[in-house]
Chain A
Amino acid sequence: MLKLISVRLVAILVGLGFAVAVLWAFVIGAYNAATEEPAGHLPYEKPMDLSWSFDGPFGKWDQQQLQRGLKVYDEVCAACHSLKFVAFRDLEQLGYTEGQVKAYAAAKQVPGIDPNTGEATTRPGLPTDYFPSPYPNNVAAAAANNNAIPPDLSLMTKARGDGTNYVASLLMGYGPPSAELLEEHPEAAPGPGLHHNPYFPNLNLAMAAPLNAGQVTFDDGTEATVEQMSKDVAAFLTWTAEPTLVKRKQTGWPVMIFLLFATVLAYMSKKQIWAAVKPKK
């Protein structure tokens, strides 16, 4: 009994100690909050809520769109951004034939070794090769881009919140900062080598607006507006980030339906078994 009392006495003292310590921090924090100007955030915008063919539990890829997106990546983004987790062979999922993929890969130069001298060289790509990086290494990438290394795009739409919308919004969002913004946040003015974009968390990014209307000629005749190209490349990058996305959702349905069925059975079975011992109403 004595021991129990002492355990609880110690506990009460320890508890009060923690509470006093943290409330002391609270008092100081509250005093600081009351006397100091809070550090404001730059007001950046949430990505636009666009609609995508692969949205929702029944979503599917729009292969035409992915093919257009590939073309945008190929002719615009690939100049600076790698796509290192995607292999040429994966492009068959976009509806290309084996021969088309082979030809596409062969048109790319990938790092190789000269079979006679062993020196590093380049060779035409094979379907098993991965998209080559535009720079041999990070140092070269930094040197060519004013120290801002262009990130790999393979996983970009998963590496940002609401990624598909974010990528599309960012690409469409370039433009000079508004006068009101600059008045309220003079620090938001783009510095040298930076470009204003309301969707980028600190409003200024090193990448200049990459897309211009008509820059790409789509094979299916779609007009290459900035909006069209932005959406198409965002859709393509959603596919590169998760090629199994549609398969995942399609696998999910039979699993859910089966589980629902099994759970209903389990419920009825449980009810039957318990009926015997439940009090009669």
Chain B
Amino acid sequence: MSFPWARQYEPKNPVSKFFDEKLPLPRLVYNAVGAGYPVPRNLSYFWNFGVLAGFFLVVQIVTGVVLAMHYAGNAQVAFASTEHIMRDVNWGWLMRYAHANGASFFFIVVYLHIFRGLFYSSYKAPREMIWLLGVVIFLLMMATAFMGYVLPWGQMSFWGAKVITGLFGAIPIVGEPIQVWLLGGFAPDNAALNRFFSLHFLLPFVIAGVVILHIWALHIPGSSNPTGVEVKQESDTVPFHPYYTAKDGFGLGIALLAYFALVFFLPNALGHPDNYIEANPLSTPAHIVPEWYFWPFYAILRAFTVDFFFVPAKLMGVIAMFASILLWFFLPWLDKSPVRSGHYRPTFRKFFWFGLIPAMVVLFICGGAPAEEPYVMMSQIATAYYFLHFLVILPIISSSEKTEPLPYSITEAVLGSDKKPVLGENTTPAV
């Protein structure tokens, strides 16, 4: 779908005419990210992170394919092959640091993308499917990142693999057989390393597939915007190209500056020193932590320290950790407010800034800290708030709060007034 005033692709020369008839790929691109896609004219820089996430997915695939040309997925030599990449392969150190920090940046931009979705309720109708696919992408990213972290076969790789597969051991009765099946053994070894390598190579392409669906679903209703008011008329939009290609280009420059500053000057700042110690199945590091992007969820996992009636603490933690992400699937139906943007929802805004964000910060800090007081108690309060926010507070305030008046249209929001005569054929029904 597109708005009636969307520009139409017009092949100008014989070659593009030939393509347009046989394989209208240029037309597809034109309508997807070209001048043929009308986008609200008031998008803020928070709308940059979708394109950036796509960019870092490409960075990860390119550097990852290169690394796979030199890496050996065998427990005997995996660690040494990583060092071979760092020391002997031409530009190998750059490829590896770009890949390791690329994972971090992929998560940074995706977290900002999710943050924007939560604040502006981008998950609301008619964009539920975009949101659902986004959550699927996030879950796939987590699985891919986890398996990738295992590959260098350092101490954190090994013990991360052991601990995370141990989560499945929490499932009653079938848990342990499942864990052994996942690892292909009783502890992480060659079998586990090899299958993780295989899946780590495969999943990014699955992610790319779901990303295409995500973008497809986006183009049905079109992009949301900071007011949350739907597009009504042509003056509410600008063509994606050149307006948002230019804006995304600038955003990309900023992101790359930060990314390469890390790659070239602090490449190990986001990693853990223990992963430069070769995996040793007989000695656990003093303090096992996952990569930083898992910290909030790791904190939720560890917050459940006592059995709850008949549910053992371990199982409760695992259920809560998975539930903390899976509940995102229900957000479109939990938040009933007719207004999307947090800018016009005073109560929602208060809980968002003074409840959810501090809780996430606390969970992030506690997930990276050792499992001792006061971190455990802090993470327990934050975990309680996290679940209450999404499952209790959001459903209640979304149906009870008094929202602030919305602008009549995007044009009015931008220009201060919207006096244009609204032509019948150029409007879509007001939402």
Contact = CB atoms under 8 A, between A and B. Distances in A.
A279 B416 contact: yes
Interface stretch (B137-145, B165-173, B187-195, B265-273): B265-273
Given A19-B384, A155-B277, A273 B333 contact: no
Contact of B395 (A11, A155, A249): A11
A182 interface: no
A161 B384 CA distance: 33
A154 to B, nearest CB: 8
B392 interface: yes
Interface in A246-281: 248-249, 251-253, 255-256, 259-260, 262-263, 266-267, 269-270, 273-274, 277, 279
A158 interface: yes
Contacts of B37: none
A4 interface: yes
Contact of A267 (B97, B250, B388, B396): B250
Nearest to A158: B276
B391 A249 contact: no
Interface stretch (B62-70, B177-185, B253-261, B420-428): B253-261
A274 B390 contact: no
B238 to A, nearest CB: 6
B250 A252 contact: no
Given A29-B305, A244-B87, A274-B246, A7 B330 contact: yes
B247 interface: yes
A184 B40 CA distance: 67
A273 B391 contact: no
B348 interface: no
Contacts of A25: 303-306, 308, 313, 380
Contacts of B273: 158-161, 163
Interface string A150-187: 01101100111101000000000000000000000000
A155 B275 CA distance: 10
Contacts of B263: 252
Contacts, number: 171
Interface string A228-253: 00000000000001111000110111
A271 to B, nearest CB: 9
A18 B253 contact: no
Contacts of B97: 248
A19 B386 CA distance: 9
Interface string B90-105: 0001100100000000
Nearest to B252: A266
B247 A22 contact: no
B370 to A, nearest CB: 10
Q: Is the interface of B mostly helix, strand, loop or mixed?
A: helix
A90 to B, nearest CB: 8
Interface in B312-341: 313, 316, 320, 323, 327, 330, 333-334, 336
B249 interface: yes
A7 B305 CA distance: 29
B388 A85 contact: no
B83 interface: yes
Interface string B207-229: 00000000000000000000000
Question: On chain A, which size bracket covers the interface?
Answer: 35 or more
B265 A201 contact: no
A32 B256 CA distance: 48
Contacts of A85: 80, 83, 87
B202 to A, nearest CB: 30
A28 B305 contact: yes
B330 A259 contact: no
Contacts of A269: 246, 249-250
Interface string B295-311: 00000000111101001
A266 B253 contact: yes
Contact of B384 (A22, A255, A259, A274): A22
B264 interface: yes
Contacts of A252: 260-261, 263-265
Contacts of B390: 11, 15
B294 to A, nearest CB: 18
Contact of A23 (B80, B264, B380, B414): B380
A90 B87 CA distance: 9
A20 B316 CA distance: 12
B373 interface: yes
A135 to B, nearest CB: 16
A18 B380 CA distance: 11
B265 A57 contact: yes
Contacts of A160: 273
B388 A11 contact: no
Given A7-B334, A26-B377, A26-B384, A21 B304 contact: yes
A19 B311 CA distance: 14
B124 to A, nearest CB: 13
Contacts of A19: 384-385, 387-388, 392
A4 B128 CA distance: 14
Interface of B: 41, 80, 83, 86-87, 93-94, 97, 238, 242-243, 246-247, 249-250, 252-254, 256-257, 260-261, 263-265, 267-268, 273-274, 276-278, 286, 303-306, 308, 311, 313, 316, 320, 323, 327, 330, 333-334, 336, 372-373, 376-377, 380-381, 383-385, 387-388, 390-392, 395-396, 414-416
Given A28-B305, A255-B264, 10 more contacts: A7-B334, A11-B330, A14-B323, A15-B388, A22-B380, A29-B376, A29-B380, A161-B273, A244-B86, A263-B254
Interface of A: 4, 7-8, 11-12, 14-16, 18-26, 28-30, 33, 38-39, 57, 85, 90, 151-152, 154-155, 158-161, 163, 201, 241-244, 248-249, 251-253, 255-256, 259-260, 262-263, 266-267, 269-270, 273-274, 277, 279
28 contacts: A11-B330, A11-B392, A11-B395, A19-B392, A21-B320, A22-B303, A22-B304, A24-B308, A25-B305, A39-B372, A85-B83, A85-B87, A158-B276, A159-B276, A251-B94, A252-B261, A252-B263, A255-B260, A259-B256, A259-B257, A263-B254, A266-B250, A270-B247, A273-B243, A274-B243, A274-B247, A279-B415, A279-B416
The 7 closest A-B pairs by CB, nearest first: A15-B391, A252-B264, A263-B253, A26-B380, A159-B276, A18-B387, A270-B246
